[in-house]
Amino acid sequence: MKAYKRIVVIFFTAFFLCTTDNVKASHIDAGYITYSHVTGNTYQVSLFLYRDCNGISPPTTAIINYTSSCGGDSSVALTPVPGTGQIVTLSLIALPVVTSCTGGFALGIEEWEYTGLVTLPVNCSDWTFSFSTCCRSGSINTIVAAGSQSFYTETMLNNLLAPVNSSPAPISASVAEFCVGNAVGWNQGCFDADGDSLVYSLVCPKNSNSSFLSYNPPLSCVNPIDANPPVYLNPVSGQISFTPTLTQISIMTVRVDEFRNGALIGSFENNLLAYMVINDLCLFSADNNLIVGMNFIDANQNGICDPPEKMNMTSGVASVIGQTDTNYAPINDNGWFFCVVDTGNWTTSLGAYDSNFYAVNPSSMVSNFGSQTGQTDTVKFPVQLVPGHPNLCVDIVPVTPARRGLDVTYRIVATNVGTDSITGDLQFTHDGLLTLVSSIPAYNSYTNPIIIWNFTDFAPMTSLICDVKLNVPAPPTINIGDLLSSSVIINPVTTDVQPNNNFDDIRHEVIASFDPNDKWVEREIIYSNQIPFTEHLDYLIRFQNTGNDTAFLVIIRDTLDYQLDQSTLNILHSSHDYIAVKRINNVLEFQFNNILLPDSNVNEPASHAYIAYQIKPKSTFGVTDIIRNQAAIYFDYNAPILTNAVYTEAVMATGIGEVSSIKPLLVYPNPANGKITISAKGLSWSKAKISLYNTFGQLVLEENVSQKYNSEYTLDVHAFSKGLYHIVVVEGADNRYSSSIIIE
């Protein structure tokens, strides 16, 4: 039996990898105008616009105004170039992605080109071609009132000095994304067909021919991004360099002046849009290589992922072995995995499959990068089911905390991890003190406290999810620290090849206030008589959007303790689609792209989310060792929220009885540096003994208590050294309670 319990399920959703964030732009924020000489005073004028595919539709025509001090004002309607609207590659690498331009969730940007002929009536030194549209995206967070500002761009031609001239043209797109903390080299140099001299400078973006945009201080036109080192534009090459320090969306305008024989003959303004992000793109740089892997159920056994065959929805890791290093890449619930490697040869294989159940062919693949960096290689693993192996598993997820007088929601997740379709039922027995409120889907039968759902032809590699809402009674029926016991079983059990995972139970502690962004580990104490410890440690990270708007992107970064065996990592379940990436320095990253998590003021129940995984300690984990974990949660472009730290420690057995007979104590505050309060369900303190043990199993305090009818006891621990301690309370012959506390 496990308090608060683990989640073991494979969430089957057809979801492709997103390479970028999901902040939505409304309108056009990048673009420029070029011209090329045709004959006489006739020029082909081209307008390039960049639009977010989640925003407005592109214009059917684009009106260009052209004016001068000596030739008057006029306009021309440009039309789209056939085949325009191509998707822009935002990063240096091409990962498998379905963008918003093609029905997916990843940020998708299209480049639209409009063109037309303009015949200027006279030669003049200041012909200006301009385009304007309303409005810019409100998601730009470096500009004052960005959402109410117009997009404006212009290009100048001096055909008095240079009647035959074509403007410079940029050699790269005007939109890109960059990783926070990584040095950026963004080439915004131009090609000039006439061989004229070009000079680059940063100028203020405009919203009309005479009005400029304002940046949020301390940013400015020449320092438009939070960066260290700051933004620098090489005036000769057009190369922009900086290292972003914050996630943000910013615009900047590069003016390119064109000189011939020392005289200014033209200029154009390139309006740029830059996304500073923290996501899977940031795995990769020119200094390393990337292996992109996929595995899928190969139903027709042809080695190709044909529709309607789907990406395999398993968990576990892929091992990537080099000459001196071994890496482990978590397999996402959509079948993809990613691993950053160095140069040389790397052999990739899947460790997530029992060869008795599945056939993987090829069993391994080699990526040969030689001495090169900045390369990607895609490896594909067809998986075939071996019939005759029924295997069901089930788990209970505490979606919300248990609080007195309020509702608690449990998610029961059943998964067919075998190779046969199965007919059976799912039986959930809730704590007798709880009252059923609702069930989604509707149950087939309910005899308090047993809820039953029937299923037929439960297919392999699919899941059945049942959400149960129950009401927790108010005091005095339920008190803080009480444990609510519930269990679940999935049938049939007798024919199951692994019947031990057909059961699950949970002892859910009733709490008062809580932090909605928290982390939990199943085991805080491992006793010496349980070592070597060969079971998984189960981790649960919960988070809630308590802001004032919908969250589009949530990223969780969780540092794996060095005493955890990464080859045993298993991502179990999540509330929403996610991408898991194993980064350097033992950082495990979960990306919830386009999560659309509502804020708690609008929809409190839907504002919660979670991710769960399991991993085993290394075989060297022993007495006095402590495994520490803490997660950082990023909501969109805000600073991270740190969860509580969780600890698992190996301690000497105290000899007070079987571990399984010990009941949990409620100890707070924890960590503590002064007095602590101790309580537990059924503990009356009429005749109790408190024992405090250090990490070596040594008794450092023993205190007898006789305070009949008290519900709690206060203990002063300020005199003890910093560290993790184990508290044991014995009352009578059969009542034993325990917990751990960190003294700071």
The CATH code of the domain that includes 603 is 2.60.40.740
For residue 637, give its domain range: 515-649
Residue with tokens 């009309």: 208
Do residue 198 and residue 254 come from a single domain? yes
Q: How high is the pLDDT of residue 121? A: 94
pLDDT confidence of 9, banded at 50, 70, 90? very low
Mean pLDDT of 56-69: 91
Last residue of a domain, one of 385, 416, 449: 385
Query: How do residues 456-511 score in pLDDT, each as one tens digit?
Result: 999 888 889 999 999 999 988 888 888 888 888 898 877 888 877 787 777 788 88
Between 395 and 416, whose confidence is greater? 416
- Which band of pLDDT confidence, cut at 50, 70 and 90, is reported for residue 550? confident
154 domain residue, yes or no = yes
- pLDDT tens, position by position, 417-454: 888 999 999 999 899 899 999 999 999 999 888 999 99
How far, CA to CA in Å, does 609 sit from each of 458, 557, 616?
Answer: 27, 15, 24
CATH of the domain at 666: 2.60.40.3080
Task: Kindly state whether residues 36 and 181 are assigned to the same domain.
Answer: yes
The verdict on residue 23 lying in a domain is: no
Q: In this predicted model, which residue has the larger pLDDT, 341 or 129? A: 129
Does 739 score more than 80 pLDDT? Answer: no
Res. 660 pLDDT band, cuts 50 70 90: very low
Mean pLDDT of all residues belonging to the chain: 83
Residues 6 or more apart in contact with residue 57 via CB below 8 angstroms: none
For the ranges 233-247, 559-573, 719-733, the maximum mean pLDDT occurs at 233-247
Residue 308 pLDDT class (50, 70, 90 cuts) = low
| 338 lies in some domain | yes
Q: Is 673 in the same domain as 640?
A: no
Q: Using the predicted structure, report yes or no on whether residue 18 has a pLDDT greater than 50.
A: no
179 and 195 co-located in one domain: yes
Q: Is residue 564 part of a domain?
A: yes
How do beta strands 289-297 and 376-385 pair? parallel
- Same domain? For 419 and 381 the reply is no
Neighbours of 644 (CB within 10 A): 14
How does pLDDT run across 91-149, given as a tens digit for each residue? 654 444 556 676 665 677 889 999 999 999 999 999 999 999 988 888 888 999 888 89
Quick one: 526 and 597 in the same domain?
A: yes
Mean per-residue pLDDT for 405-422?
Answer: 90
State mean pLDDT over 536-546.
89
* 390 domain-assigned: no
Domain boundary among 337, 359, 385: 385
Q: Check pLDDT > 60 for residue 657.
A: no
Answer yes or no: do 208 and 61 share one domain.
yes
pLDDT of amino acid 37: 96
User: Quick one: 636 and 495 in the same domain?
Assistant: no
**pLDDT tier, 285 (very low <50, low <70, confident <90, very high otherwise):** low
CA-to-CA separations, 590 to 280, 492, 560, in angstroms, rounded: 9, 34, 13
352-374 pLDDT, tens digit per residue, is: 667 778 888 888 999 999 998 87
Ranking 32-36, 252-256, 416-420 by mean pLDDT, the lowest is 416-420
Distances (CA, A) of 497 to 295, 416, 448, 562, 594: 24, 12, 31, 34, 38
Instruction: Please say whether the beta carbons of 326 and 319 come within 8 A.
Output: yes
Higher-confidence position of 711 and 715 = 715
Instruction: Indicate whether 116 and 234 sit together in one domain.
Output: yes
**Boundary residue ending a domain (497, 514, 531):** 514
Whether 397 maps to a domain, the answer reads no
Could you identify the residue written with the tokens 């003021």? Answer: 601
**171 assigned to some structural domain:** yes
Q: Give yes or no: residues 232 and 184 share one domain.
A: yes
CA distance 742 to 668: 10
Task: Mark whether 460 and 312 lie in a shared domain.
Answer: no
Domain count, the chain: 5
State mean pLDDT over 281-295. Answer: 75
Q: What is the mean pLDDT of residues 161-169?
A: 93
Specify whether 261 is located in the same domain as 308. Answer: no
Question: What 3-state class would DSSP assign to 481?
Answer: coil
Q: Is residue 33 part of a domain?
A: yes
Q: Is the dihedral of CA 206, 211, 213, 214 positive or negative?
A: positive
Whether 343 has a pLDDT exceeding 70, the answer reads yes
734 CB contacts (<8 Å, ≥6 apart)? none
CA dihedral 319, 321, 326, 331 (to 10 degrees): -20
* pTM (2 d.p.): 0.59
